[in-house]
Homo-oligomer: A and B are copies of this chain.
Amino acid sequence: MSSIILLLVEDDNNLKNLLEMALQDEGFEVVLANSGKKAIAKLDADGAQFMGLITDIRLGTGPDGWAVGHRAREVFSGIPVVYMSGDSAHEWSANGVPESVMLQKPFVMGQLVTAITTLLNQASSATALVDAMRHDRNTKPKG
């Protein structure tokens, strides 16, 4: 099977490596961005390649994780989004996007894997309905 590419946005190098390895162990292909600016550039250049977004909130100067989440949904409206944060989780209810998951640090890698696979599976069923609708329009004779 071809690959499932996730965009991982994290500016802490140690944590970035741990997360990348855990996701690769699950069979995901991971594209890294260590700032909000670089993440948004990747989304603008070729956002359609990403099947999911996993983003830290505090990302130094420039756009934060909330801004990355909003841009990802503008580029690909149904993309699964998982936020990770230690001290910014309380901003999620006002700044997160619908049907996202807020993971508070600390967490074990299994929580991240369950979060992203659960969202991907829900999107898979929802997209099945979308594909059915497209199929209807292309193949059905006009009443």
Tell me what chain A mostly uses at the interface: helix, strand, loop, or mixed: helix
Is the beta-carbon distance between B133 and A78 smaller than 8 angstroms? yes
A93 is an interface residue with CB less than 8 A from chain B? yes
Q: Which residues of A contact B (CB under 8 A)?
A: 1-4, 15, 26-28, 44-48, 70, 73-78, 89-111, 113-115, 117-118, 120-121, 124-136, 140, 143
CA distance A89 to B4 in the complex (A): 17
Is the beta-carbon distance between B102 and A128 smaller than 8 angstroms? yes
Kindly identify which residue among B15, B89, B94, B114 contacts A73, using a CB–CB cutoff of 8 Å: B94
Closest to A114 in B: B117
Is the beta-carbon distance between B107 and A94 smaller than 8 angstroms? no
